[in-house]
Amino acid sequence: MNRLVVVSNRVADLKRSTQAGGLAVGLADSLRSRGGVWMGWDGQTLKYEEEPEPRIQRIGDVTQATIPLTEQDYVEYYLGFANRVLWPLFHYRLDLVEYKTAFLEGYRRVNAKFANALTSVLQPDDVIWIHDYHLIPLAAELRQRGCQQRIGFFLHIPFPPPEILAAVPRHRWLVESLLEFDVVGFQTNTDLGNLHHYVEDHLGCEIKSDGRIDLGTREVIGGCFPIGIDVDSFVGMAEQPNEEVQIEMKRREILGRRQVIGVDRLDYTKGLPDRLRAFARLLELYPEMRKSVALMQIATPTREELEAYIDIRKELEALSGEINGRFADFNWTPVRYIHGTVPRDALAALFRASQVGFVTPLRDGMNLVAKEYVAAQAMDDPGVLVLSKFAGAAEDMREALIVNPYDVDDMARNLCRALTMPLAERQDRQKALMERIREHDSAYWLSTFMAALEDGKTKETA
Ligand code: GDG
């Protein structure tokens, strides 16, 4: 087996249990199982003239190699091109894109730094797996430095249709950079289809029947590799007694109250304002639900330096206050809005103690929370997943109640359906969903991507 070298913007803290964010969670599960090297930015900004050598640290079977960035890199590459251009663009939010040439320059500069650092760590038989939108030009940078190893790329977020992508300057350069990889992986068939449409329409390339993109001189494997979770480990966590959550659950049982739960990074793509409005609409449309159900929304702080994130935070605080002001009673608070981070085992216990998992992003690559909610349920008395049709997870998790996250009434009706669903139907849906998340778990994600990267095998040729 070749040594696996993973590269992503940040490396996860493998010793911490409060790590939020899908890439960190998904990759940590996979790398722990296979071992290898993980390279990324260490989160620090320093002043330096000469690029420092990567810092090497060994944790179990994983060697982490990290580099610092400068303040200018942070502003132009991370806050700028990655999070003011690519993140909104790839989530179909052209209204939030703020393109600047300096951002693009910062993006290219940091990718060159990553390539320099990586070159010092690489061995001839390594396979390299690069992650996410921060590092699209990295394969081209590595090839310029003589790197001959196989290089794969996985996009954790959606890939937009050509009509949206073509609105940003240098879109052709971006896609051509993507095609420098040997394998380009997406979460869903929709995302893969969007790349295929772009290369056909804008580059005139042919797409082969197995999804390979024919560039004339070489072929690129384009594939769909839905990310998953380590199901058994999450089931184990959810089954562990968590005293604080259990006391809280007993109190709710005595009062005959159910809980709807939402857990997200506080991001404008996650559809949080309309989720809260949908919960308020439930209380309006079905007054019998008042005092018998509450919404717990955990919104984990993220990218707090950006205006769009400050705005969404303010909007949510105002909305939850407004809903509570309107509906709360002296002994019932309809919305519990938590702006903070919860340990992973407590999260698992909270999912298990909640009768509905409410996952309504406006657009999401996959959404691991949907899979975690299902993994956490008790099979004899499971809760119900209400899931946005615009989450990548909806392509596979068809037994969830699928909703339109822009339609507040549709979400309210489905919440009511979830809260009143008979036990037998809940069990049937849970069984089917559990089978699906077990089939497409983190080990499957790793092995199918590796088969494509190491052996050139795709689903069609495997
Ligand atoms: C990106 C894509 C794709 C959240 N709050 C806490 C916490 N979390 C954990 C969740 C889950 C992860 O963070 C979030 O993952 P998601 O997949 O839901 O979303 P993104 O962070 O946007 O991830 C996404 C993913 O990458 C993987 O490819 O699915 O579409 O956007 O694991 O449980 N964990 C803890 N405390 C919190 O407060 N411990």
> For ligand 1, what atom is nearest to the CA of residue 154?
28
Which residues are registered as beta bridge partners of 403? 388
- The values of phi and psi at residue 211, to 5°, are 90, -5
User: Which among 91, 131, 134, 156 is annotated as catalytic?
Assistant: 156
Catalytic-role residue among 264, 267, 274, 364: 364
Over 70: is that where the pLDDT of 17 sits? Answer: no
pTM score of the predicted model: 0.96
Residue of 93, 225, 272, 368 best suited for mutating to test ligand 1, as the one with most atoms within 8 Å of CB: 368
pLDDT in tens, 320-354: 999 999 999 999 999 999 999 999 999 999 999 99
**Ligand 1: which atom is nearest the Cα of residue 392?**
30
Could you tell me which residues come within 8 angstroms of residue 355 by beta carbon, excluding any fewer than 6 positions away? 258, 259, 260, 293, 383, 384, 418, 419
Has residue 91 got a pLDDT over 60? yes
Looking at this protein, which amino acid is placed at residue 232?
A: D
Residue whose CA is closest, atom 20 of ligand 1? Answer: 22
Q: Specify the range with the lowest mean pLDDT, choosing from 134-138, 320-324, 451-455.
A: 451-455
What homologous superfamily does CATH list for 231-439? Glycogen Phosphorylase B; (3.40.50.2000)
Site to probe by mutation for ligand 1, drawn from 9, 14, 18, 25 as the one with most ligand atoms within 8 Å of Cβ, is 25
Q: Tell me: pLDDT of 18 over 60.
A: no
User: CA–CA separation, 411 vs 404, rounded Å?
Assistant: 7
Instruction: State how beta strands 206-207 and 258-265 pair.
Output: unpaired
Structural contact between residues 319 and 277, judged by C-beta atoms closer than 8 angstroms:
yes
Which residue has the CA at smallest separation from atom 19 of ligand 1?
22
Is 364 a catalytic site residue? yes
410-443: pLDDT as tens digits: 999 999 999 999 999 999 999 999 999 999 999 9
What pLDDT score was predicted for residue 28?
Answer: 81
Q: Closest ligand 1 atom, CA of 18?
A: 39
Three-state SS for 2?
coil
Residues contacting 398, CB < 8 A, separation 6+: none
Helices (H), 146-242: 162-165, 171-178, 189-203, 231-239
- Please state, in angstroms and rounded to a whole number, the distance separating the CA atoms of residues 277 and 281: 6
pLDDT category at 16 given cuts 50, 70, 90 is low
pLDDT tens track for 189-235 = 999 999 999 999 999 999 998 889 999 999 999 999 999 999 999 99
The contacts of residue 259 (CB under 8 Å, 6+ apart) are: 252, 293, 294, 295, 296, 353, 354, 355, 356
Domains of the chain: which residue ranges? Answer: 4-186+188-224, 231-439
How far is residue 90's CA from residue 71's CA, in Å, rounded to a whole number? Answer: 25
Active site residue 61: no
User: Any idea what DSSP says for residue 47?
Assistant: -
Mean pLDDT of the chain: 94
Mutate which of 265, 268, 296, 360 for ligand 1 pocket (most atoms within 8 A of beta carbon): 265
d(CA 456, CA 50): 38
Share of the chain above pLDDT 90, in %: 83
> Does the pLDDT at position 383 exceed 80?
yes
Average pLDDT over residues 85-113: 97
What residues flank ligand 1, with Cβ below 6 Å? 18, 20-23, 25-26, 156-157, 227, 263, 265, 298, 300, 341-344, 347, 364-369, 372
Q: Where are the alpha helices (DSSP H) in 271-407?
A: 272-285, 307-327, 344-352, 368-376
Give me ligand 1 centre to Cα 263, in Å: 8
Higher pLDDT, 248 or 9: 9
CA distance readout (Å), 187 to 7, 40, 193: 18, 22, 11
- Mutate which of 230, 367, 387, 445 to test ligand 1's pocket (most atoms within 8 Å of Cβ)? 367
Q: Does pLDDT of 94 surpass 90?
A: yes
Residue 459 pLDDT more than 70?
Answer: no
State the distance from the centre of ligand 1 to the C-alpha of 13, rounded, in angstroms: 15
Fold classification of 4-186+188-224 is: Rossmann fold (3.40.50)
Mean pLDDT of all residues in 89-107:
97
Query: Residues 155-170: what's their mean pLDDT?
Result: 97
> 3-state class of 44 per DSSP?
strand
User: What average pLDDT does range 152-163 have in this prediction?
Assistant: 98
Q: 357 with 386: CB under 8 angstroms?
A: yes
Supply the pLDDT for residue 251: 84
Measured distance CA(254)–CA(176) in Å, rounded:
60
Q: Hey, do 4-186+188-224 and 231-439 end up sharing a CATH topology, with the first three levels equal?
A: yes
Ligand 1 centroid to 166 CA: how many Å?
A: 28
CA of 25 to the centre of ligand 1 (A): 7
CA dist 341 to 236, 271, 302, 409, Å?
21, 19, 10, 30
